[in-house]
Structure 1
Amino acid sequence: MRAIRCHRYGPPDMLTLDELPDLQPQAGEVVIDVKAATVNFADVLIIENRYQLKPPLPFSPGAEVAGVVRATGEGVTRLKPGMRVVAYVAHGGHAEQARAAANACVPLPDDAPFDIAAAFSLTYGTSYHALADRAALKAGETLLVLGAAGGVGLAAVEIGKALGARVIAAASSEAKLAVCVEHGADATIDYATDDLRERIAALTDARGPDVIYDPVGGVYTEPAFRSIGWRGRYLVVGFANGEIPKLPLNLALLKGASIVGVFWGEFTKREPEREAAAFVEMTGWIRSGKLRPFVSAHYALEEAAQALNDIAARRVVGKVVITP
């Protein structure tokens, strides 16, 4: 089988396309013939050795896959070869085959597109955990989503609306903001033309948002946090800007505000029952049309480096997938 491999840490152009033996499942695992694997900013960080997960070299990036079960390991009874599944694998997905823990696999109906299924688990799981669980976002509150046109950002826009919030989307171009509006945003902020603090004040009657969802970090964090409302909750989701910001803690004191960490991967390990319940609710929202995962581009396996470069350069709207 073919796989994208990281032999030494560095930028995406250092990745290689290798021919490897077919994978064999260990006890409690399945091997999946990958039909679609998503590309996330975390994949860029992991190959550059800037992520909390550090698999031993060499490895394949790619955290989410959808495909068909090829083989099952000892003790696996719920899944059978030939079943369609989606799985969170943490790494190893950018390949023709991937190994996954059986309990990390969710069976797919026959009519579920593989690319849409793969695009769902990490982004929507992260955003639901952030908004519904960590922030306890309530109907009628105001949510500001930074980096709103990216994968997790667009998911946050949709989930915020599903929870009954008023959603303000912030992104770096009119084209990206147009996609946010299509997915439910009530108001927008364009980083390229708007003063962030002035625009937040204008859109909230100077009260500030109740919840801020930040997967970007960098230069936007402090001005956004200075604009948060009384008892606001600032969700630390990621650092797509590349810079981990530092905040003066007196700002939290003055607003009675909370800085709330969001680590979905650890949450799924420590609280799997709550995560399962979240996906039950979100599945219902998909059926009702409240959630519409958006895949904007497909790449061949040979184009994985380009896909990662596009993610790193913030040229991506929604989600992109690799189709081996």
Structure 2
Amino acid sequence: MKAAVLNAFGSPLAIETLPDPLLGTGEVIVDVMASRVLAYANEVLGGQRKYMLELPVVPGPGAIGRVRATGPDATRLRPGDWVYCDPTVRSRDNALSPDIALQGLTAGSEGGLHLQRYFHNGAWAEQMRVPTENAVPIGAIDEKDAIRWCALGTLLVPFGGFLAAQLQAGEIALVNGATGSFGSAAVAVALGMGAQCVVATGRNEQALAELTGRFGARVRTVPMRGHEAEDRANILQAAPGPIDCVLDILPPAANAVQARTAIMAVRPYGRVALMGGVGMLGGAGLDLPYPWMMRNCITVQGQWMYPPHATVLMTGLIRAGLVNLDHFEITAFGLDRANEAVAHAAAHSGPFKMTVIQPR
């Protein structure tokens, strides 16, 4: 099979011919039709993010594809089925605290690195091997729509945060960092889940205005100026009522004060999900007042990625028209142009912009 291979951090991807992946028990071989390119893929491949990723490797977290073959333990999947290849691979030998690796991207721990050594190569190839549970059926689609369904990989991340924070229909949600690709997707997801209103914060006022234009009056935007008390007051003023749920999805360049500004706008008994990159580049930690958390019964939860059943639920929201894939502006590249795709994704990031590689 043909694949894009990273042989050294900072070097261009090499288009090589590799052996087809071999099928084992508990595994599925998928013909990859499309895989999204993260906006920061260039930083991962260049080594700046220092992700736990052993080389050489075929990058590419997540894909839309068709089942080629299944192992003997598969009871429902059939060759030809359309599936989302979930990159969130969990170890199977510790149900309480499974190690996690993002196939084709990073390992979260030493245990995750051990897992990555087996489920090693990602989706920028004509075929890939995934655990059976990671080939999630999405139902029949037209082949030309495979690139649109790559948006699952973007939508599922904030969806995991809202599931962790138990967002309920009719509640008011706050998305802190709503102007990036994951943050803007979080706004769409919260609305699709039935939020009464979404308060969207960010520094890019043009991107905030576009969110209002795209989704209407259910979105209230708040430009963040960097003054904690003033910014929080503006958040509370914009919300039509007490804020039930906060999703913080700020990028690594943001600081802890930006996160705290939004977190402390949540109502008593409110819930907070932390999914962003605050602190990954150093700096002060998240300083939340103990008395405020205790006396107001605040729940703060960290959430990496999403639970295994999230893809099934998100597929249902898309099928029902509650989350619309047409929001995404897509630029597609063939596998031979994988390096161009990585550069394009970095230069054209932002709300509802998606770069995709089509190996076939």
What TM-score range do you get, normalising by the shorter chain? Answer: 0.7 to 0.9
Q: Determine if contact 1:6/1:59 at 8 Å carries over to the other structure.
A: yes
Question: Match of 1:68, SS?
Answer: strand
- Any gaps of 5 or more consecutive residues in structure 2? 88-102, 105-121
Instruction: State the alpha-carbon separation in 1 of the partners of residues 73 and 312 from structure 2.
Output: 25
Residue by residue, what CA displacement relative to the aligned partner does 1:188-234 show, whole Å, maximum 9, x if unpaired?
A: 2345xx55643542242298854142242433541341342244544
Q: Count residues with an aligned counterpart.
A: 308
* 2:256 is aligned with 1:238: no
* 2:67 is aligned with 1:84: no
Q: 1:308 to 1:178 in 2, by over 3 A?
A: farther
Instruction: State the alpha-carbon separation in 2 of the partners of residues 284 and 151 from structure 1.
Output: 21
Instruction: State the alpha-carbon separation in 1 of the partners of residues 140 and 170 from structure 2.
Output: 37
Q: 1:28 to 1:44 in 2, by over 3 A?
A: farther
**Which one of the candidate residues 136, 142, 157 is aligned to 2:187?**
157
TM-score by length of 1: 0.79
1:207-286 equivalent positions in 2, closer than 5 A: 209-210=243-244, 211-227=246-262, 228-229=264-265, 230-231=267-268, 232-239=270-277, 243=281, 246-251=284-289, 253-254=291-292, 256=296, 257-264=298-305, 268=307, 275-276=308-309, 278-286=310-318
The one-letter code of the counterpart of 1:3 is A
Alignment-derived partner of residue 112 in structure 2: none
Alignment-derived partner of residue 99 in structure 2: none
Residue by residue, what CA displacement relative to the aligned partner does 1:83-114 show, whole Å, maximum 9, x if unpaired?
A: 22221132211122221222211223333521
Q: Determine if contact 2:63/2:150 at 8 Å carries over to the other structure.
A: yes
% identity of equivalent residues: 28
TM-score by length of 2: 0.72
Q: 1:37 to 1:303 in 2, by over 3 A?
A: same
1:1-324 equivalent positions in 2, closer than 5 A: 1-10=1-10, 14-40=12-38, 43-44=41-42, 46-47=44-45, 48=47, 50=49, 54-89=52-87, 90-91=103-104, 92-111=122-141, 113-120=145-152, 122-132=153-163, 134-161=164-191, 162-181=193-212, 182-183=214-215, 186-190=219-223, 194=225, 197=228, 198-205=230-237, 209-210=243-244, 211-227=246-262, 228-229=264-265, 230-231=267-268, 232-239=270-277, 243=281, 246-251=284-289, 253-254=291-292, 256=296, 257-264=298-305, 268=307, 275-276=308-309, 278-293=310-325, 294-300=327-333, 301-312=335-346, 315-318=349-352, 319-324=354-359
- Any gaps of 5 or more consecutive residues in structure 1? 269-274
The structure 1 segments of at least 4 consecutive aligned residues displaced by more than 6 Å after TM superposition are none
Residue by residue, what CA displacement relative to the aligned partner does 1:244-289 show, whole Å, maximum 9, x if unpaired?
A: 553353445445554421112xx54xxxxxx42x444433322332
Question: Match of 2:254, SS?
Answer: helix
Q: 1:245 to 1:138 in 2, by over 3 A?
A: farther
Residue by residue, what CA displacement relative to the aligned partner does 1:162-190 show, whole Å, maximum 9, x if unpaired?
A: 23242122345455334423146612234
Instruction: State the alpha-carbon separation in 2 of the partners of residues 246 and 107 from structure 1.
Output: 43
Instruction: State the alpha-carbon separation in 1 of the partners of residues 194 and 30 from structure 2.
Output: 34
